[in-house]
Structure 1
Amino acid sequence: MVVAGSGLAGLTAACDLADAGVSVTLLESRARLGGATFSFQRGGMTVDNGQHVVLRCCTAYLRLLERLGSSAGMAVQERFRVPVLAPGGRFTELRRIDVPAPLHLLPAIARYRALRPIDRARVLRAALALRSLDPDDESLDSHNFGDWLARHGQNDETRDRLWNLITVAALNGHVSQVSLASAAKVFRTALLDAPDAADIGIPRWPLEDLHVRPAEKYLIERGGRVRTHSPVRGVTPVRDRFLVRLDDEVLEADAVVLAVPPETAARVCPERAGLQRWRLVRLGAVPIVNVHVVYERPVTDLSFVAAVSSPVQWVFDRTDAAGLTTGQYLTVSLSAAESWLTTPASTLREVFLTELGRLFPEAATTPHSRFFVTRQRRATFRQSPGSNSLRADQRTALPGLVLAGSWTATGWPDTMEGAVQSGHRAADLVLAQLAGGVR
């Protein structure tokens, strides 16, 4: 059988199928595997295309790393803690305590000095109201999270200094841009329903070593084949099989998993698959921009930190993961980055070197040896009101042709966890079909 696409969804599906004894050919259109999560070499250091983190509630992804033998490359906090640089140079943090949810976050909010005491009280009231929402309630998807927050007493300060801190990072959109259903899923699953769910995991290793190469090795050891430079141009059903058309050949397959972006799925799927192409097109895309700076000596002892009321959103120390032995390599991760996507690197240099110098006084007087920018133009789909209703079911109208990807109807936001879950689901659907089961 054929799995098209080597992102996390495709790698997961291929590994599951190989484990079940299925002969798998994994096709990737580009020269490298990894999809939206990959690494590359630059100036003797290993650079991830973007800063990817997980939470303890991302159980499918964390189990995948264990299965691949690479879980040591993910450092998960023993207890949720987010350092925050607030206006006026104030340092504060969000930290949970070991009591049942949602009480575990009450002290964190009560002591959050980025907000005035009266605004902290507003946040607590809204958080309790948010916990009463059901993320599976389809009616919530048509509503705007920002409007809901306004109805529950939130002002500009609480939105800017707390709600957006999480929403922008998790949903790649500001509170006024995202679906209430998606926001409810994030806040309930990660922060409000279980005390340890939001403990943060940050890769110690490059993504290439964390899951890309281990998954490739895992697949090949089980008889799978991996082909790069092999874009799928079309899928045609012929009796009980499929013809998968590449640039210069046609492969036969008894089943196909299309773990590709939605626009590619819409283009290559046959009409009989029943995809509503207009829905996939309407999902759209939102960029993420990453600013990379290598300082000649360390400028902060924080492994990561968030900033509020600043052009900087999140800063991560990637020195060790990149393989550097001197200096300090910081990555500034900018989600919902439409305003930065086409900004010249020279302007980004001026803005972010200045701001990093303000946030970290040592950075203002420390020379930097490297500065560069990476841009993910289509980092996630646009998780706006109504977006969940546009996401495709992984089943198609053609038995044996299955979709996978974090953009499908996983019930999760567009994340690594959602991608892995979709890969498992795709493999289950294929195995049921091959066994003659009912879909």
Structure 2
Amino acid sequence: MAEPTVVVVGGGLAGIAAALRAADRGCAVTLLESRPRLGGAAFSFRRGELTVDNGQHVFLRCCAAYRWFLDRVGGTELTTLQDRLDIPVLAPGGRSGRLRRTSGVPAPAHLTAALAGYRLLSVADRARAVRGAVALRLLNPADPSLDRRTLGEYLRRHGQNDATIAALWGIVATATLNLGPDDASLALAAKVFRTGLLDSAAAADIGHATAPLGELHSVAAGAALAGAGVAVTLGARVETVGGGPVVRFRADGSVREVRPDAVVLAVPPRELFALAPALSGTAAAPARQLQTAPIVNVHVVYDRPVTDLPFAAGVGTPVQWVFDRTESSGLRRSRPGGQYLAVTVSAADDLIDVPARAIVDRFVAALAELFPRARRAEVLDAFVTRERHATFRQAAGTAPLRPGPDSGLPGVALAGAWTATGWPDTMESAVRSGVAAAQHILGVASSDLVEFAA
């Protein structure tokens, strides 16, 4: 019997995961990617002698699907994962706090000491924060009614004030949901806080790449695809996907048409319906209403070290999160003694169209408020990267707009972090969606493919 043929459209994490899982199950897989690289929205590029990530992408210990992906592409050694959650939190004026779990203490008591000693909140507000944690732990992320409410409304109903939301809950929520607490879906927030922080002590330990993202998501992933026998065509412009299914695309100056047994469309909604117009008449149609939310990253290269922290969160400052990218960028080799910091600003609607020079000036000054040594350092380079469509807008009421892997067209599956994975729009969600799409087209039970904890 001939092996099933599968075409995957899109070479981001969702498409790569779908291609690998289908190939591992014996399918003949072709992956088509319009860019000259793999990796989708998590990639690297060259700037002079530096290798720059477009933005800082982290994962948590509870991200079982993404960690499987790292193992599958041979990239785990290019990442690091904390032994225990430890987030330095900085504020202007030399004020600071630390969110660190207590080793050997089960959830949710593992955070009690951190909250009790969190100096960026008053004693009364720390007590409020404990009440908020208890309330969040009572939520069921699968309850559909939660999606009609916002995190901010729920927190205020349970005793939280502006101080606790800004200096505690918002640190995590804004970064993971790419939306402020007063707009973000309570259902997705419940998933973040319960799965990531409150149900398991080790779940929120933070991991990140120690090499450029391109080495993980393009080079290592490309090698894994080749090893699995997946035929990858970069620079392939898919024109249409129709029933049958049939895929028409342009590559190397010629137009081709293939009729595989199945197709996985691993592209964002803004591209999906242009490629497959017939989806407008299926259960996937509500995804047209999904809007997007931007992320802005500010990159600053100093002539000397200004901090010893690998990363930190900010409160009362434009700097939401800042990461030391000196090693991974190659700065240590090209300019010994310098330091490269990358600032990530989520929910960046107010910043996305601001001129780069104004953004740089604002954030160089903000970094100097947090890191006194930066005031004496020379800025060798500073620039801005923008992801206008970084994630879908994870607002209240969006759950019904996220379809599952079944597109409604025979032989066509959907994948992408925006689909109904039960997770926010993250690398974890992307990989889960790709595995789910492979499961759907193969028609096998999850236990026969890959099964991840919810």
Q: Which residue of 2 aligns with 1:55?
A: 60
Q: Out of 32, 36, 57, which is 2:37 matched to?
A: 32
Q: Does 1:162 align with 2:172?
A: no
> What is the distance in 1 between the residues matched to 2:202 and 2:94?
29
The aligned length equals 431
**CA distances 1:166-208 after superposition (whole Å, capped 9, x unpaired):** 1110100110010110110000000000000000002101111
Matching of residues 255-266 of structure 1 within 5 Å = 255-266=262-273
2:242, 2:278 within 8 Å by CA — same for their partners in 1? no
Comparing 314-323 and 279-288, the one that deviates more: 279-288
Provide the C-alpha distance between the structure 2 equivalents of 1:308 and 1:272, rounded to a whole number of angstroms: 44
Whether the 8 Å CA contact 2:419–2:433 is kept in 1: the answer is yes
In the alignment, the residues of structure 2 paired with residue 275 and residue 52 of structure 1 have an alpha-carbon distance, to the nearest angstrom, of: 33
Contact 2:282-2:409 within 8 A present in 1 as well: no
Q: Which residue of 1 aligns with 2:190?
A: 184
User: Retained in 1: the 8 A contact 2:283–2:408?
Assistant: no
Determine the C-alpha separation between the residues in 1 that align with 2:405 and 2:150: 26
- Does residue 133 of structure 1 match 2:154? no
Equivalent residue runs for 1:303-322 within 5 Å: 303-322=310-329
Deviation at 1:221, TM superposition (A): 1.9
Question: Does the 8 A contact of 1:266 with 1:277 survive in 2?
Answer: no
Q: 1:200 and 2:206 equivalent?
A: yes
**Corresponding residue number in structure 2 for 1:381:** 392
Counterpart pick for 2:112 among 93, 106, 111 = 106
Matches within 5 A, 1:2-401: 2-97=7-102, 98-238=104-244, 242-247=245-250, 248-271=255-278, 274-276=281-283, 279-325=286-332, 326=336, 327-401=338-412
Structure 1 residue ranges, 4+ long, deviating more than 4 angstroms after superposition: none
Structure 1 stretch displaced more, 263-272 or 99-108:
263-272
| Secondary structure, aligned partner of 1:232 | strand
Counterpart mapping for 1:406-417 below 5 A: 406-417=417-428
Q: Distance in 2 between matches of 1:80 and 1:222?
A: 35
The SS at the match of 2:299 is strand
Give 3-state SS (helix, strand or coil) of 2:270's partner: helix
> CA shift at 1:273, angstroms?
7.6
* Contact 2:60–2:196 (Cα < 8 Å) also in 1: yes
Deviation at 1:323, TM superposition (A): 1.2
Uncovered stretches (5+) of structure 2, i.e. residues with no partner: 1-5, 449-454
The amino acid of 1:280's aligned partner reads A
Contact 1:266 1:275 in 2 (8 A): no
Cα distance between partner residues in 1 of 2:157 and 2:340: 42
CA apart distance, 1:88: 3.0
Distance 2:283 2:354 in 1: 35
Secondary structure of the 2:135 match is helix
Question: Shift of residue 266 of structure 1?
Answer: 2.0
Q: Distance in 1 between matches of 2:89 and 2:438?
A: 41
How far, CA to CA, are the matches of 2:16 and 2:46 in structure 1? 22
SS class of match (1:263)? helix
Post-superposition shift, 1:267? 2.1
1:87 CA drift (Å): 4.3
Unpaired runs of 5+ residues, structure 1, are none
| 1:305-360 residue CA offsets vs partner (Å, 9 max, x unmatched) | 11101011100000101112121010000000011101111101211111111111
Decide which moves more: 91-100 or 191-200: 91-100
Percent identical residues: 52
In structure 2, C-alpha distance between the alignment counterparts of 1:146 and 1:236, rounded to whole Å: 43
Q: Do 2:12 and 2:38's aligned partners in 1 also have CA atoms closer than 8 Å? A: yes
Asked if the contact 2:116–2:126 (Cα under 8 Å) also holds between the matched residues in 1, the reply is: yes
Structure 1 counterpart of 2:451: none
> Secondary structure, in 3 states, of the residue corresponding to 1:154?
coil
**In structure 1, C-alpha distance between the alignment counterparts of 2:385 and 2:354, rounded to whole Å:** 12
- Counterpart Cα distance in 2 of 1:264 and 1:395: 17
**Aligned partner letter, 2:239:** R
Tell me, yes or no, if the aligned pair for 2:279 and 2:285 is still in contact at 8 Å. Answer: no
| 2:3 alignment counterpart | none
3-state secondary structure, aligned to 2:182: helix
Does the CA contact (< 8 Å) of 1:273 and 1:396 recur in 2?
A: no
Query: 2 CA distance for matches of 1:214 and 1:432?
Result: 28
What is the TM-score when the length of structure 2 is the normalising length?
Answer: 0.92
Tell me, in whole angstroms, the C-alpha distance in 1 between the residues paired with 2:80 and 2:261: 40
TM score, norm. by length of structure 1: 0.96
- Contact 2:147 2:398 survives alignment (8 Å): yes
- 121-130 or 229-238, which deviates more: 229-238
CA-based RMSD of the aligned residues comes to 1.4
Aligned partners of 1:281, 1:88: CA distance in 2, in Å?
46
